[in-house]
Structures are given as C-alpha cells and as structure tokens.
Amino acid sequence: MELVDSILMQLDKPDPEIDRIWAEEAKKRWKAYKAGKVETVSYEQVMKKHSAR
C-alpha cells in the first residue's frame, strides 16, 4: 500500500513547466479570440450537434 501511495503522490504533483506552457497557450488563444481570428460556436449549436447523435 505504501508503494501505491508513493506512486500516487508523485503523479499528483503539478509540473511548473506544463503549467507555464498551458498559460501561454491560453493567452495566445484569448488574444486570437479578442482579435476576431477564431471562429466561435455557440452553446446552442454545440448542444444541437451532439444531441442529434
């Protein structure tokens, strides 16, 4: 059980590099959205598409 706990503790640690990369990506996407460079889809369109399946 100690081995499992040890492995789980290691897996749950945040990786600062991955967090930094995701933060950069989020900023890049937000800027593209604000500049009108990203095509958006409304919630209603998404729900209609996926409820039709």
> Residue 5: its pLDDT value, please?
84
Distance CA 22, CA 28 (A): 10
> Residue 7: its pLDDT value, please?
85
> Residue 10: its pLDDT value, please?
82
> Residue 52: its pLDDT value, please?
79
Q: Where are the domains of the chain?
A: 16-53
Distance CA 49, CA 26 (A): 25
The model carries a pTM of: 0.59
What's the distance, Cα to Cα, between the start and end of the chain in Å?
A: 43
Q: Average pLDDT for consecutive 10-residue bins of the chain (53 residues)?
A: 85 88 98 96 94 81
> Residue 30: its pLDDT value, please?
97
